[in-house]
Structures are given as C-alpha cells and as structure tokens.
Amino acid sequence: MKKLSMDELNRKSTEEFKQASKLPIVIILDNVRSMNNVGSVFRTADAFLLEAIYLCGVTAKPPHREIQKTALGATETVNWKHFETAIEAVNSLKNEGYKIYAVEQADESVMLDKYTPANGKIALVFGNEITGVEQSVIDICDACIEIPQYGTKHSLNLAVSAGIVVWEIAKKFI
C-alpha cells in the first residue's frame, strides 16, 4: 500500500469545482459562533460537492482568517450567501422547492440511520453550538433528523455532526 501524492489525488481546480454537478444539498448554519466550525463545514461542503452554505445571524462570513484556518480554501469554491435570520434562509429555499430538515434532537425526529431523503433538493439546518436549532426554525422545517448517540453525552461538535450527516445523506444520492 502506498500513500497517494497530491498529483495522484486528481483534485479539481477551483474552476472545475464551480462547473461540476453538485449534490442537491444546502447547509444552513444558524448563529454558529465558532469560526473553526464554519471553516470545517465549508471544507465538508467542498469535499461532497454540495450546492451551497447559507450563513445566518451571527455566523461569521468569509473572508476571515479564523475561517480560512479550517476551510483551507473551500470558501473560494463553495457558493455561500448570508441571511439575517435562518427563517429567511429556510423560506427562500422552500420557495425554490427544497425540503428542509433541522439536525436536532426533537420528540418526532427521524434517526439518521432510518432517514430516506425526499426526492429532489434538501437543506440541512445546523444550529448554535450551545442552544441548537431555534424552535421557531424547527416549526417551519419539514422534519428533524437526529444522529443516534449511545454514550453519556447528548451532543457532538457541530462540524463533526455536519460531517456525519452529510456523509450519510450523500451516500443515498450517489
């Protein structure tokens, strides 16, 4: 077994990325305070060729040195928009025909391993690192998706959660 060199990885150029077909998934980050989390989510969105990231509320926007530390250039490839509120972002995407899923622990959430994506475009809402997705946003979502957890903790780091959820859903689109 031999580790692949950078040339052998056949990475897309920025222009090739922008021209490539994307998975019909948008990530909405609502009031995410950690710029490292924001940068990591950009990197995940790049890795899986997602359509876009919508940054809402106090979520930091590029360009910013702290975002770049973890994004490693993904802010140059992944499309993004800023909205004053997640409600505005959700309503905008609903008007474009997206199904909206909050990633949250809720009484009627669907466990990620049991989730089957709706046909068409979807958006995934990730909330604040402490308070999660606001109830007012959950109220206008189509459903909640929950990551099964079996230990004593009841939460994961936001960037880790985004990676897990995007990987599981992307497998169903590919």
What pLDDT digit, counting tens, does each position of 46-61 carry? 999 999 999 999 999 9
3 assigned to some structural domain: no
9 assigned to some structural domain: no
3-state secondary structure of 101: strand
Q: How high is the mean pLDDT of the chain?
A: 96
Give the alpha-carbon dihedral of 73, 42, 49, 93, to 10 degrees. Answer: -130
Structurally, how many domains does the chain consist of?
1
pLDDT of residue 156: 95
119-173 per-position pLDDT tens digit: 899 999 999 999 999 999 999 999 999 999 999 998 999 999 999 999 999 998 8
CATH of the domain at 42: 3.40.1280.10
Instruction: Tell me the CA end-to-end span of the chain in Å, nearest whole number.
Output: 27
Q: How large is the angle between the packed helices 158-173 and 35-47, nearest 10 degrees?
A: 10
Whole-prediction pTM = 0.96
7 assigned to some structural domain: no
Query: Residue 96 has what DSSP assignment?
Result: T
| C-beta separation of 66 from 73 below 8 A | no
Name the residue range of residue 59's domain.
21-148+158-173
pLDDT of residue 174: 77
41 assigned to some structural domain: yes
Among the listed residues 21, 29, 22, the one whose alpha carbon sits nearest the alpha carbon of residue 125: 29
pLDDT of residue 91: 98
Share of the chain above pLDDT 90, in %: 93
